[in-house]
Each structure stands twice: as C-alpha cells, then as structure tokens.
Amino acid sequence: MKVAVYPGSFDPITNGHLDIIERASKIADKLIVLVAHNISKNGMFTSTEKARLIKESVKNFSNVEIDCFEGLLVEYVKENNINFIVRGLRAISDFEMELQMAILNRKLYSGAETLFLMTSTEHSYLSSSMVKELFQMNGSVSQFVPECVEIAMKNKLCGGETNE
C-alpha cells in the first residue's frame, strides 16, 4: 500500500489545496493531510481548528485522513512509513523553496520521495495569505475557500469560537 502525506500550514485550507488533495488521493492508496508547523508563518487558526476545517472539507474522500504534527516532517514520515511527500507547485516562484525543502528532506531521510503536482490553472494565483488579506479588507472569499472556512473566518473576526 502506497501512503502519501500532504504537509502544509493550511491557514486556512483553500480550494487550491483541495484540488491537490483530490488529485493526490487518486494516486496514493492512503493520503494523510498533515497540519505542520512553518516557523516563518504566524497563523490565524490553531492546528486543531485547521484540522477540523480540513476534515469538514475532505469528508467526501474515503482514503484521506487528517493529522497534526509539530516536529520535523521527516520524523513524521519515518514514524508513519510514508512513501511520498506531496507538494503543490503554483508558479516558478514556488520552485526554489520547494526544491530546497525536497532536497533537505531527502538528505535527512531518503526513504520517501517528494512528489510535486502542478496546481490547476484556475487556482494558480491562490494562497492562504491572499485569502486572509482579502478577507481582512472586507472582500468576499467564498469562491476561494470551502464554505466551512468562510464561516470560521467570519467567526474569528467576531472573536467567536470555530466549533471546537
């Protein structure tokens, strides 16, 4: 059985992430969407909130699981016998950082391959940061994120809970 992990900040999950999840879930027997820690990013949502929103968004995919991990990705990959690390590539600007991460991860642990999926053109401009900025400037994010995410963002703005 081929197991893949799709790690990311997912702050929050967007339709671009969902596109990668859907396509990766057809390649792997099991796909784990992993809420991981990017030290260079400050989040809007907690890991638990992000995981809940992902779970709600992928409920129709039978071979997709969600997990959270605070440590090094390769440690998770080793512990869980992962075969592939899936990452989405939107544009050339993503490539340099993604290449560095893939090489570093392979140096640390050579038992898994990084698999890049090119983002579908309709999502190639989309990022969680852009969605958050749009939302903070009172723009509508409904066409860029699942409905549960839009609701959770509105709840955050009101200082409320996100159904934890």
From residue 101, how far is each of 44, 105, 107, 108, 117 by CA, in Å?
24, 6, 10, 10, 15
Q: What is the DSSP string of 109-144?
A: -TTSEEEEEEPPGGGTT--HHHHHHHHHTT---TTT
128: annotated active-site residue: yes
Among 5, 9, 21, 148, binds ligand PNS (CB under 6 A): 9
- Of the candidate spans 5-13, 43-51, 134-142, 143-151, the one that interacts with ligand PNS by CB under 6 A turns out to be 5-13
Is residue 105 part of the contact set for ligand PNS (CB under 6 A)?
Answer: yes
- Of the candidate spans 34-42, 114-122, 135-143, 146-154, the one that interacts with ligand PNS by CB under 6 A turns out to be 34-42
Is residue 72 part of the contact set for ligand PNS (CB under 6 A)?
Answer: yes
Place of tokens 């994010």: 141
Residues contributing to the site for ligand PNS (CB under 6 A): 7-9, 36-38, 41, 72-73, 101, 104-105
Please give the positions annotated as active site.
17, 41, 90, 128
